[in-house]
Chain A
């Protein structure tokens, strides 16, 4: 049995990616089980999705703690302790990351034992599909890695997308981009890894007083510590020569993370801006541009 685990952000397409490779393998006559795991639905929240593929019966359910292949659709998840996309990665396994960085760089930065493969899916998505939704692209790289045939992938993308998008042109672009990603990689000789058991022991849970055991949070303002804006594809950038300080962007920001600097110009808290770009949309002077790339600090922004 081959086990694949996808990590992405809500809205990025991890669920459809896991289904695409699942459907492709099903079309090739395999037994397949795929499913997504997300909490209360929220765009941008870390989600995971799973695909199990076997010639025989699949006697497992639920999350895959020890995947053969990990597909990370969002680079910023690598350092997210809750998403922990690299957990259970194995020496004999494969980790794919959507990033412009090199595999060697990632191996060193994150101490990864597995074979690392990278490709800048976001750039391919923006260039070829005009969108940073990466479902079919991630499905394509996963299919390639495990050795699914090109025709099966094409049929699977067609089948999965025809149920959710009516625009034929968009569907064709997705197929084209998926095939481009597929052909950009080489298949990997996959060997099914032996699961490691016996890591944890069963305990007898002790009683704790309600002060501890009631579901209440006593710590204040912990949300400030969570960098909810670390994953955006685009970020707003102000041209202060054009800005007239009308503050419409400040009032329209759903996250409340645009404030005024000492000169009265809007300035964004990049740690919490989710890149929704409502400010870009709302600015009457068109003084805000959507830009890509790593987040510079405020000094560099004003200096650009």
Chain B
């Protein structure tokens, strides 16, 4: 084990190197490119025994990743934002092939207008595809999650692909101290992949990814994917326990921050949660019983764990770093659905924040806690966009320059 300053992208590359993947099809896109640059450098230097192929597009890249995985090898690929969308047809397709590849998505806001800062509309577009989703708060988690993703995906009860998500810039280009485990430790945790359902043997021909005509056949395959995804909950928990035993770092489906005695709760995912935790600390200093819940696993959705964690809380604010136009925050809807039948359910508020990487300032968190304490007396829209007067003034200036007066 060694401890080094690594960006989220470098941590991702280390996870892939330690997982000893066989094949990496790649296509560059900001802010993901550093991952494949790092991997291609290692492969070219001979420190990784992996086949690396640059493809003509993300559509081909995801197809190649799925096809390779269907021959029974361990596959990694990575993309971001517009790239993920360009390959989107194949995201659904390869999930249906039941191939346990791992894809890192480096979150970045979607066009239009085109931008580079992070939000989660890209990754949440894959919510219903069959891919499992792990969301990371820091660079250590990125490395660890790649290893956990393979272990979970390759389990016989799951065999679905996984997206490991990190925020562009806030993690991808941010360096933090990261522990890099030894490869021998990783081999103990993540043994070689030898699937019985997907292989490439001349003596045993097989057709994969076939078509079915007839809803009753189609329904069977789709519902089997749903059941496999549900199985992944237990497999993930077991993976967490095994991971902790081997490496000493503890993960769960959700992270609870000062939640035990909390009455007012923030729900956030990915790297902005760090700022949420700091806001919780500040609110505690003001005497507000604040806490934060961070879902790490979004697919399968850890409903039971979330219900248990929020049982008896007074009010909860979901801060969505995404927007479904005409409805609101995606996670808010998922939370509302999860809590609807609960007798002791908290009052639920919805905020949209951090779109395109917009900062969430301490004042905005203060505003949220003020509303949470008011509970049913809160005076906010559903959803309420987190946006400050200062930012509005800046926007007015930009409009003036653009001749929008």
Q: Which of A32, A39, A200 has the most CB of B within 10 A?
A: A200
Is A199 engaged at the interface, CB distance under 8 Å to the other chain? yes
Which of A39, A200, A204 is close to B384, meaning CB atoms less than 8 Å apart? Answer: A204
A19 to B395 Cα, complex, angstroms: 32
Pick from B5, B386, B391, B402: contact of A218, CB below 8 A: B402
Q: Which residues of B contact A39 (CB under 8 A)?
A: 116
A200 to B276, CA, bound (A): 18
Interface segment, B63-71, B173-181, B210-218?
A: B173-181
Q: DSSP class of A's interface residues: helix, strand, loop or mixed?
A: loop
Bound complex: CA A180 to CA B281 (Å):
43
Query: Please, how many angstroms separate the alpha-carbon atoms of A265 and B51 in the complex?
Result: 57
Contacts of A13 in B (CB 8 A): none
In the complex, whether A31 has a CB less than 8 A from a CB of chain B is: yes
Query: Is the contact region of chain B dominated by helix, strand, or loop, or is it mixed?
Result: mixed
Chain B nearest CB: distance from A226 CB in Å?
Answer: 10
* Set of chain A residues within 8 Å of B404, measured between Cβ atoms: 211-212, 218
Q: What are the residues of chain A within 8 A of B387 when measuring CB–CB?
A: 202-203, 205
Tell me the nearest residue of chain B to A41, going by C-beta: B30
Q: B274 at the A/B interface (Cβ < 8 Å)?
A: yes
Query: Closest residue of chain A to B176, judged by CB?
Result: A33
List, in ascending order, chain B residues with CB within 8 A of A220's CB. 403
- How many chain A residues touch B (Cβ–Cβ < 8 Å)? 38
- A205 to B393 alpha-carbon distance, docked (Å): 12
Assuming A35-B173, A39-B116, is B401 touching A222 (CB within 8 A)?
yes
Say yes or no for A63: interface residue by CB 8 A criterion: yes
- Check A217/B363 contact, CB under 8 A, given A31-B177, A62-B275: no
Give Cα distance in the complex from A22 to B359, angstroms. 23
Contact indicator B174/A33 (Cβ below 8 Å):
yes
Closest chain B residue to A49, Cβ basis:
B173
Cβ-defined contact, A61 with B399, below 8 A: no
Other-chain residue from A23, A37, A59, A204 in contact with B277 (beta carbon distance below 8 A):
A59
Question: Which chain A positions have C-beta within 8 A of B366?
Answer: 197-198
Task: Answer yes or no: B271 CB below 8 A from chain A CBs.
Answer: yes
Asked if B388 contacts A202 (CB within 8 A), the reply is yes
* Mask of B105-135 contacts with A, CB within 8 angstroms, 1/0: 0000000110010000000000000000000
Which chain A residue shows the least CB distance to B381? A204
A23 nearest in chain B by CB position = B5
Asked if B402 and A61 sit within 8 Å, CB to CB, the answer is: no
Alpha-carbon distance A212/B384, docked complex (angstroms): 21
Question: Contacts A201-B388, A203-B392 given: A33-B175 contact, CB under 8 Å?
Answer: yes
> Is there an interface contact between A200 and B388, defined as CB atoms closer than 8 Å?
yes
Contact A26 B367 (CB under 8 A): no
How many chain B residues have a CB neighbour from A under 8 Å? 42
User: Are the CB atoms of A203 and B388 closer together than 8 Å?
Assistant: yes
- B342 within 8 Å of A by Cβ? no
Please tell me if B341 contacts chain A, counting CB pairs below 8 Å: no
Among residues of B, the one whose C-beta sits closest to the C-beta of A40 is: B116
* A32-B363 contact given A59-B281, A203-B388, A218-B404, CB 8 Å threshold: no
Chain A residue at minimum C-beta to C-beta distance from B172: A35
Query: For the complex, is A36 an interface residue (Cβ under 8 Å from B)?
Result: yes
Complex interface: chain A residues within 8 A of B274 (CB): 59-61
Contact B363 A199 (CB under 8 A): yes
Question: Hey, which chain A residues are within 8 Å of B275, CB to CB?
Answer: 59-62
Q: How many whole Å from B210's CB to the nearest CB in chain A? A: 44
Q: Are A63 and B384 interface neighbours, CB within 8 A?
A: no
- Residue of A26, A61, A201 most packed against chain B (CB within 10 A): A61
Is the Cβ of B402 less than 8 Å from the Cβ of A203?
A: no
Instruction: Tell me if B82 counts as interface (CB < 8 A to partner A).
Output: no
CA distance A211 to B405 in the complex (A): 10
Q: A32-B5, A35-B175, A201-B389 are in contact. Are A219 and B401 (CB under 8 A)?
A: yes
Residues of B within 8 A of A26 (CB): 5, 177
CB distance from B354 to the nearest CB of A (A): 9
Q: Does A215 contact B (CB under 8 A)?
A: yes
Which among A40, A198, A203 has the highest number of chain B CB atoms within 10 Å? A203
Q: Which residues of chain B come closer than 8 Å to A33, judged between CB atoms?
A: 174-176
Please report which residues of chain B, range 1-30, place their CB below 8 angstroms from some CB of chain A when the two chains form the complex.
5, 7
Contact partners of A202 in chain B: CB under 8 A: 363-364, 367, 384, 386-389
Interface positions of B from 277 to 326, Cβ below 8 Å from A: 277-278, 281
Interface 1/0 per residue, A80-100 and B, CB below 8 Å: 000000000000000000000
A68 near B: Cβ within 8 Å? no
The answer for the CA separation of A19 and B391 in the assembled complex, in Å, is 30
State whether the Cβ of B361 lies closer than 8 Å to any Cβ in chain A: yes
In angstroms, how far is the closest chain B Cβ from the Cβ of A217?
4
Residues of A with C-beta under 8 A to B97: none
Residue of A23, A197, A201 touching B362 (CB-CB under 8 A): A197
**A74, CB-defined interface residue at 8 Å:** no
Question: A216's closest neighbor in chain B, by CB?
Answer: B402
Interface presence of B385 (CB below 8 A): yes
Can you report 27 A-B residue pairs in the complex whose CB atoms are below 8 A from each other? A26-B5, A32-B5, A33-B176, A34-B175, A35-B169, A36-B173, A61-B274, A61-B275, A197-B362, A200-B388, A200-B391, A201-B388, A202-B386, A202-B388, A202-B389, A203-B387, A203-B388, A203-B389, A203-B392, A204-B384, A205-B392, A211-B404, A215-B112, A215-B113, A218-B402, A218-B403, A222-B401
Interface residues of chain A, those whose CB is within 8 Å of chain B, are 19, 22-23, 26, 31-37, 39-40, 58-63, 195, 197-205, 211-212, 215-220, 222
4 closest A-B pairs by CB: A219-B403, A218-B403, A59-B278, A35-B174
